[in-house]
Amino acid sequence: MSEDFISPDIHHERISHKSQESAHTGLSTKVIWKVFWILLAVTVFEVGISFTSIPKGILLYVFIGLTIFKAYYIIFFFMHMKFEQAALKFSILLPFVLIVYLIFIAIYEGIAIGLVNY
């Protein structure tokens, strides 16, 4: 077994060269500022449309959509998720399917208790 196979320092795991390259090239300062302007523009847009007379029911879904849009940019660019391995991506993101499920059952339950009216 060659020496470079198992590093003598267990804290210094072996990482393939690919990720280090993308760590340097994936996020340029230009991209960082671009993401910043996107996030700022979406936030200003959200505050702006909250004052219009668009029905609240439609507005709710617009806000949820834009929030997920912003979350995508924060997670995938600022938190570097876009440049990670697919295995890591899915390990982190898939559990949130459970959260989506919880949203549905909890909101449904909340409405139902409200209708019982005790």
Partner 1 sequence: MSSAPTANFETKPWHGGYSPFNVRWGKLYMWIFLVSDAFTFSSLLIAYGALRHRWTGIWPFPGEVFTHFPFIHGHVPLAYVGLMTFILIMSSVTMVLAVDAGHSFKRKSVQMWLGLTIIGGLMFVGSQAWEWYHFIEGSEEGAFYLADGRFARTDNLEPGVLLFHDGTKIEGAEAEHLKATAVKNVHGANLYENEYGPTPLFGNFFFFITGFHGFHVFSGVVINFIVFVLVSKGALDKKKDYELVEKVGLYWHFVDLVWVFVFTFFYLV
**How many whole angstroms separate alpha carbon 27 and alpha carbon 20?**
12
- Residue type at 10 in one-letter notation: I
Among 55, 95, 97, 118, binds partner 1 (CB under 8 A): 95
Sign of the torsion formed by the C-alpha atoms of 60, 63, 69 and 70: negative
Q: Give residues 10-49 in contact with partner 1 (rule: CB under 8 A).
A: 11-19, 21, 23-24, 27, 29, 32-33, 35-36, 39-40, 43-44, 46-47
Among 30, 53, 82, 113, binds partner 1 (CB under 8 A): 113
| Helix residue ranges, H only, 26-75 | 29-49, 56-73
Residue showing tokens 């449309």: 49
Q: How far is the CB of 112 from partner 1 (least distance, A)?
A: 9
Q: Give residues 49-88 in contact with partner 1 (rule: CB under 8 A).
A: 50, 56, 59-60, 63-64, 66-67, 70-71, 74-75, 77-80, 84-85, 87-88
